Structure 1
Amino acid sequence: MLIDINAYVGNWPFQQLKYNTCEALSARMNKFGVDISVISNLNGIFYKNTQSSNEELFEELRSNRKFKDRFIPYAVINPIYAGWQDDLETCIKTYGFKGVRLYPSYHDYEILDPACIELVKRVRDYGLPVVFNFRMEDTRQRSWIDTAYVKNNVIREWNLKNILPIVNAVPDAKYIIVNFANAVKLDVEELSIVKKTNLLFDTSGRAITNMADFLKHFGEDKFAFGTHSPILDYLTGLLRIESLLPNEADENTKELLRSGNAKRMLGL
């Protein structure tokens, strides 16, 4: 079984995308043997009211009954936008969404903003994961209009140290961290936080140059297949798993990476 924990529908204003609807993504999944994809709506990154993007995704999923068994929808919530508490409740209780994606850089709040901490705690209380991105795309090719990675006139991308504060603040939540870029050396305490937290990285990011080393460092239970599609290509995340040599990962470990760890995190 193959589960993609990091995919999208919707539009990216700085790049023409393909396979960015449920119908097109479903065909892509069939071609490459992917059974289930966790999806959210890219439009929510840019809408002032993120709930509009969640409504779009909900309606798109309702348009074809076959989507029910192929996609696991995640809501995009902005905790500094008025009424986000009601939006979260609607997404989970009415729409049946199974997690939340947060974009502090795009929605312009700090990761330890009290509203962000409150949101993570509420999602935790629902027993669902919260997703953070290292980045959406490579800043070396970013549009000048895309201001998410600019602060004090300095271009920046997140690394793991930027995300660990919220993990440390709410250690009993579930976390998915995607598009692993800008690897950074952790001290013993920081590494301990990662290892003891219910946390998954996806396999899409450029920093994962040697999957075997990452498995040794963080543990085989900390990674799951993810594509970051349609912004990144559809195969690199899987090749990082399938290229592991027998002395680097046995078949049981590869199955954890293909779907086992994702099933545990997603409650499947």
Structure 2
Amino acid sequence: MRIDRLPHVIPTVRSDGPFLSHAAHALAEGAQELLWPTRCLGCDLGGELLCPDCRASLPWVAQAWACPNCGAPHGFMTCTECDEAWETRACVSSLPFGGVASRLVTGLKDAHELRLAPVLAALMLCSLDEAASWPAEDGRPRFDRADLDAVCFVPATPQAYLRRGFDHMELVSRSLAAQLGLPLADVLSRSSSSDQRGLGREARASNLAGSIDVLERVDGLSFLLADDVITTGASVRECARALLGRGARSVTACSVARVW
């Protein structure tokens, strides 16, 4: 089921929008492919961003064995990665971080391959579908589309936004919201903070403390909070803490990858 969903969102050619004539559009795509050929992020094979063989060999996190609190693989019985007291009611991650997962994430946010946004969204949706069959700590499904009001995302820092010119998780979350049929709620902002990469667990939490603001009223709403990579959980926990502090009813987290 997961493999069947992905081919529909794997671009094989570039698109410049609906304003070019068909001939000009085809010519532009051909020129771009000649100059910057599309290659698989997994094996470098030409033609697709993620080829069929690499799609078939993705190392999915089995939700049956994942920790329902922090999403860590193999943490269902006893989790060594969390204290079972996260602010999120459940956490779902698609892939262990590393290999193709890391290249997919960095390809979008650092290499500016914007066509990866719907691909990452589809990865998350596949795992959310599976997580709907498994209970969270409260006994309810870890993911329930009917119980959610909107999708939101862990925002980029102002420095990262200026450096990239876009917020990669806004792009991913916009696609995820569309695939779920939910509104996208751009309700979180992030003040300046140091890059989380390279920081340990305590330093990450300290770096993010108080850095997330809620921009609109969220009273009584349930959110699906999206992030690219969950390492210690400091980012999603701080965002969930901010949302709940402003009256949100619940926050379920999801990510493309989980450091393990």
- Relative to the length of structure 2, the TM-score reads 0.32
* Larger RCO, structures 1/2 (Cα 8 Å, 6+ apart): 2
TM-score (norm 1): 0.31
Q: Larger % of helix: which?
A: 1
Structure showing greater Rg: 2
